[in-house]
Structure 1
Amino acid sequence: MTHNDAKRAPTDDQEAREKIAALLRRPWYVVAISGTVVLVSIVLLVLMGKFVAGLVIALVPAALIFAVCLGQAISFSPAAVARLKSAAEQTGGRFTLWKAGPGPYTGVPFEHGIGHDRFGVLDYVEQGLPVEVGHLLTTVDTHGKGLMPNAKRTAFAAIQLPERMAHMVLDFGRLSRFLGVRMAPEAWHRSQLVDVGGGRRFRLFVADGEEQLARAFFTPELVHLLQQIGRRYDVEIKDRYLYLFSTRSLGSGSDRRWQQQRTLIEGLARSVADSPVWDLLRRRSKRRSPARDALRRDDKRVVIIIVSVAVGAFVVLSAIAIYLWDQGLLKV
């Protein structure tokens, strides 16, 4: 390390600490403001004894913003980052406060948005396979100083695979849920669904032409394990990595929860490392490697579903508003 590097390292570390501290504080600011709007709106509605359109219009979006930001503030807290840092010694791994860019990862969350960085990252080896656990920060707009957070946070674990695999997604809807309700339909073309014996909710999408590879990889043992993992994570396989994605940090919650997450990753890494599919891929690589084609999206179907739901919600809300107006309970 040169003299300049030695002088620059503490500064860079301090900048990373300040950046992450500001990042983790921002949702709390929005929680305080939106929570105040919700509280004031409710108090005024109670005092007036009637529904006032203006207050209701302010209350509903404020309540949604409050719920979203409160969930982010709790799920990506300083305590969650600190837990991953303390786990570095336990796992014999390395903790990094800030990693600029998406790194080698190409999973769907790493490709959406206009910028990607990782923070609170733990790297270690499990069952002979490199594992990275951390938090992905995806910039979704160019307004860096607005009141609302301009970046989406996604918790992830990435397990490096022995060989390159075709693109596969197990979409359990964990990244598109709000208050336990799935808010967006599956984006993948339904013709790519492959049945590997996991049941109706085990919806595996596989790149065209790789159905046989998927059935070889998803053994009954692995399917059973992924059914448990699907209670908390969406799963994606692409190139040399298997990803787990969630809207809640792996390090959040209690120590018991963290140990449960580590146990899941350990079991998954063991099952993956022992899979017979790697011998199949090594033999097949002499003839051809897995398809590099990504899964095909069915955006038309997604748009139709979203528009239908939006129209239905508008009709229901309009009917409620008309009824309240007729009853004299709604004022402008």
Structure 2
Amino acid sequence: MPAEPTVERADLTALIERVRLRDVGAFRRRVEGGGTGAMIGDLFHTVFVIALTTIFGGLAVLALLVVGAGVVLRVLDDADRGFAVIAGTTAIAVTIFAACFALVAWFVRLGADIAIRDGRLPPNWRRRYRLHRFAVDNGLSYVPEAVGLRRSGVIFTAGRSPRGYDILSTGPGSDFEIGNFQYAGDWRSERALRRFGYFRLRLPGPLPHIVLEARRNRRWFGRSNLPWRFTSKQALSLEGDFDRFFRLHVPEGFEQDALYLFTPDLMVLFMDRASDFDVEIVDDWMYVYSPRPFRMADQRTYERLFAVLDTVGRRTLDRSARYTRHQPPSRYRVPSRLIRSIRIGPIVILGVFVLLLVRRLVMGA
């Protein structure tokens, strides 16, 4: 296994020094094969999608204004002109204006998300050139975009239109990879697009499926950033303050394996260095997820990630190597994957609605 990147060994010059537009243009022409047709087509697609959604938003706003104006006129006709009527009319007008603004913003955002999901927004060629040079200087492989990217981690198994971008790795069959990933959510998602930063590290051998959900980076109402939900039977409590930072999930029957892997010193490293990240161990890979894409052209990103890799990653490699040496081959015949829980909330709501409908029909009859 090749040596993992570290801040001490990494050459960050390409991320710091100024770049010449001439060099960026030459790199762009080399990547695009000397043509600009695809770029113009993508730009036209982006403008068309955003303009179309904005037009629909404008029509919706116009309809809302017409309805609002009718309400205001009705209030003025049916009541004496006084302070209460003026105040009420003003409140209605402000509410309609705010709703119109929010509606237009939502349609513009929807159009931008569609364009980003399809990978049609013009790329930042200055950033791509910096990352290309950074990869060359450090013996890494750089992939600007990977449409349809799939990996074994949980975020790569969700949604539609998966796309990776700004991916750095140690080459084909690599043992280390860092980049950004996005997918389009399904009808249950509150946003049309989900984006993550991630890096993954190959381990010496297969381990049970383990997920650490960080408590610091949770969304509204304590919701996890990960697309999977796990059953409560798979939650394992560890000693000390670890439960204040992470929620640990491990398959039933593999609790002792997790306790062997997560020694007190490793738990301290996770709390000190990786408490803002979700972590997953699946097969012979360790994944670290950020709820926001990494700023790949910023040297501070690598300073932090390489620090996590040099501490948490190195210690996890050591513990997993010891675990693999002490486990018989028959151990892996037992199912060692986490089970995804079923969301019963929508089912309960649908069931209550059906019962109320049946009750109304029966009573009406």
What TM-score bracket applies, with the shorter chain setting the length?
0.5 to 0.7
| Bigger Rg, structure 1 or 2 | 2
Distance 2:127 2:272 in 1: 22
Number of the residue aligned with 1:199: 243
Of 194, 219, 222, which aligns to 1:177?
219
Partner Cα separation in structure 2 for residue 286 and residue 166 of structure 1: 13
Identity %: 21
Report the counterpart of residue 136 of structure 1 in structure 2: 181
Q: 2:293 aligns with which of 245, 249, 254?
A: 249
User: TM-score normalized by structure 2?
Assistant: 0.58
Q: Give how far 1:114 is off.
A: 3.1
Out of 89, 99, 102, the residue aligned to residue 57 of structure 1 is: 99
Deviations 1:137-166 (A, max 9, x none): 324469xxxxxx965332211111111111
Tell me the equivalent position of 1:93: 140
The runs of 5 or more residues in structure 1 that have no matched partner are: 1-8, 143-148, 308-332
Give me the whole-angstrom Cα distance separating, in 2, the residues matched to 1:285 and 1:63: 58
Say if 2:149 is the partner of 1:102.
Answer: yes
Matches within 5 A, 1:145-224: 151-172=193-214, 177=219, 182=223, 187-197=229-239, 198-224=242-268
Secondary structure in 2 aligned to 1:170?
strand
Distance 1:304 1:175, change over 3 A: farther
What residue number does 1:285 align with?
A: 328
Q: Judging changes above 3 Å, is the alpha-carbon distance between structure 1 residues 120 and 291 closer, same or farther for their aligned structure 2 residues?
A: farther
- After superposition, what is the alpha-carbon deviation per residue over 1:24-46, rounded to whole angstroms, capped at 9, x for unaligned? x88xx69x969x99xx9xxx9xx
Deviations 1:227-286 (A, max 9, x none): 2454432111111211112232223584334322222223232112222x4233233133
What is the alpha-carbon distance in structure 2 between the residues aligned to residue 231 and residue 61 of structure 1?
Answer: 37
Give me the whole-angstrom Cα distance separating, in 2, the residues matched to 1:14 and 1:172.
45
Aligned residue pairs: how many?
272
CA contact (8 A) 2:274 2:308 kept: no
Distance 1:66 1:233, change over 3 A: farther
Amino acid at match of 1:167: H
Structure 2 residue aligned with 1:324: none
User: Which structure dedicates a bigger proportion of its chain to strand?
Assistant: 1
Aligned to 2:340: 297
Q: What SS class does the counterpart of residue 297 from structure 1 fall into?
A: coil
**Secondary structure of the structure 2 residue equivalent to 1:55:** helix
1:188-239 C-alpha deviation (Å, 9 max, x unpaired) = 1111111233133321000121111111111222222222454432111111
Paired residues of 1:167 and 1:292 also in contact (CA < 8 A): no
| Inter-partner Cα distance in structure 1 for 2:33 and 2:254 | 45
> What is the CA-CA distance between 1:62 and the residue it aligns to?
5.7
1:258 equivalent to 2:305? Answer no
Which residue of structure 2 lines up, in the alignment, with residue 117 of structure 1? 163
TM norm structure 1 = 0.63
